[in-house]
A and B are shown apart, each in its own frame.
Chain A
Amino acid sequence: MRPLLRIFALLALLLPAVPAGAVQPDEILSDPLLEARARDISRDLRCLVCQNQSIDDSNAELARDLRVIVRERLVGGDSDRQVLDYVVARYGDFVLLDPPFKGTTLVLWFGPALIGACGLFVLIAYFRRLRRAALESPVALSLEEQRRIAALLAEDGPARGPSEKRS
């Protein structure tokens, strides 16, 4: 138990080391509440240069510009929604790392579940057929097997029936 405890203690030490992102000191707002909101929003916005990083993570020039714009708009009194809408109006839904639920994104939301359901269906159908086939046409015993069963039964005698005794 002791080594396990030690590992957990070490892991706990890593907790404060959450990714700091690419935010530069000169970008950070003096109001910690606004800054926290800015960080939250930035984590939801895709950097269009790297495409698999959020603007909070990316060192790209465009990501920096967008981070600054996000903060400017928050300082100007925008709600989180308004800030996101501002960026979406220019770059489309693709900038949102958490895509909205609507007509054009239905495939995105239901595609994986649909494919999973298809797989499950095929699997169930396969096992059902396997079982039915086994029930409908059991494989007949070969002549050799029939002879061995007859021999075993004869050995034990008719009164005792089949037993686990082996010759």
Chain B
Amino acid sequence: MARLSFVLPLAALVLLAGVFFSYLRMIDSGDKVVNDLPSALIGKPAPQFALPPLPGRGDNGLATSDFIGKVTVVNVFASWCVPCRAEHPVIERLAKLGIAPVHAINYKDRPDAGKKWLAELGDPYAAIGADESGRVGIDWGVYGVPETFIVGPDGVIRHKHVGPLTPKVLDEEILPAIRKLGS
């Protein structure tokens, strides 16, 4: 009995240390984003909105109707957002795969700044909505750019990734989610 009262707390300590350590490892390797919040919008229809296009770009902006009938990806980016720059090659790779149109919301940005940013880094997006006030971003529950959503053909938000897309996130999270919805 005395042995047990010594071993039990020790076991609890070792267990907790293990949990914390593996959690740290997950954060370190980028598998776990610390400020990753459960999204309130998963399983809900994409919000009703209509955003104007970036000036001089050949599209009509972005609206709710763009999400009906096919699996779509929406990337929320801004020219002032440094991680957006980092994830941009991954977005380009995703767009090149051609398995789903990749739209964008240019969040809280001057339209000309967004335009210049794309001219510099390349423009992989199908349609872009300019959300200068950030109101549509709030309707999407955006709290930190970049964020990436996957919307099903029924217009329902099925997946959300907060933070920059890495090649690993693309291969292990985004692509499987798109394929699952597409089949």
Q: Is the CB of B134 within 8 A of A65?
A: yes
- Interface size bucket, B side? 10 to 19
Which applies to chain B's interface (DSSP): helix, strand, loop or mixed?
loop
Q: Which residues of A sit under 8 angstroms from B40, Cβ to Cβ?
A: 88-93
Q: A13 to B143: give the CA distance in the assembly, Å.
A: 39
Question: Is A23 in contact with chain B by the CB < 8 A criterion?
Answer: no
Q: Is the CB of B37 within 8 A of A66?
A: no
Question: Is A94 in contact with chain B by the CB < 8 A criterion?
Answer: yes
Q: Which residues of B sit under 8 angstroms from A66, Cβ to Cβ?
A: 138
Question: Is A61 in contact with chain B by the CB < 8 A criterion?
Answer: yes
Which applies to chain A's interface (DSSP): helix, strand, loop or mixed?
helix
Q: Which residue of A lies closest to B108 (CB)?
A: A61
Q: Which of A82-108 contact B (CB under 8 A)?
A: 88-94
Q: Is the CB of A91 within 8 A of B143?
A: yes
Q: Is the CB of A49 within 8 A of B143?
A: yes
Question: Is A51 in contact with chain B by the CB < 8 A criterion?
Answer: yes
Q: Is the CB of B35 within 8 A of A91?
A: no
Q: Which residues of A sit under 8 angstroms from B138, Cβ to Cβ?
A: 62, 65-66, 69, 90
Q: A40 to B27: give the CA distance in the assembly, Å.
A: 36
Further contacts, 17 of them, CB under 8 A, given A48-B144, A62-B138, A90-B141: A49-B143, A49-B144, A51-B35, A62-B143, A65-B135, A65-B138, A69-B135, A69-B138, A88-B40, A90-B41, A90-B139, A90-B140, A91-B37, A91-B141, A91-B143, A92-B40, A94-B37
5 A–B contacts from the bound complex (CB under 8 Å): A65-B133, A90-B41, A90-B139, A92-B39, A93-B40
